[in-house]
Amino acid sequence: MRLLISAIAASLLALTPLSAELPRKAGELQFRTPDGKAMSLEDLKGQVVGVMFFSTDCPHCQDTADLIGPIYKEYQPKGVEFIGLAVNPSAVTGLAQFNQNHNVEYITALGNGDQWTRFAEMTGAANKYVPHLLFVDRDGNVVEDHPGLDRQFWANQEVLIRATLERLTK
């Protein structure tokens, strides 16, 4: 079964347009968790990190959060962490409820558009669609970048997330 998933994922990844700028050194990413703890991507150096920019009121983001939960539990012992940064204005009051509704156990925090633009290395005029998921390898390099319009990725996200984590945790 694992070979079948890997084969499907490899063929789907071949169809997914990846940025010419990959891999690239991950930029600075600092945030404060809902309990007030200051953190940064640098704190997670040596781990594989999925960074998701999302909106608490986006149905696709909610589906992705539901999907990431069990994947996170499975891969966390292998050195995988996820960071979810909510970029919508209503997240100030809605993040805790989002976390509760979707059984989120990975790191979440309030993010913003400027932080998203810098970390994803988008131009200021770029259209931003959520969810936007980037994967950072153990050496601190962004190795995959899946903006919200990456329809092929999002249509097959569970298989592709698992394939990415398998590859990065070897």
Task: Show the domains of the chain with their CATH numbers.
Answer: 21-148 (3.40.30.10)
Query: Average pLDDT over the chain, rounded to whole?
Result: 90
pLDDT per residue as tens digits for the range 13-59: 443 333 438 999 999 999 999 889 999 999 999 999 999 999 999 99
% helix / strand / coil in the chain, to the nearest 5? 45, 20, 35
Q: CA neighbours within 13 Å on the CB side: how many for 7?
A: 4
Amino acid at 71: I
What is the value of pTM for the model shown?
Answer: 0.87
- Euclidean distance between CA atoms 52 and 61, whole angstroms: 9
Biggest alpha carbon–alpha carbon distance for the chain? 43
CA 137 to mean position of chain CA atoms:
12
The alpha carbon torsion through 3, 8, 10, 11 (nearest 10 deg) reads 140
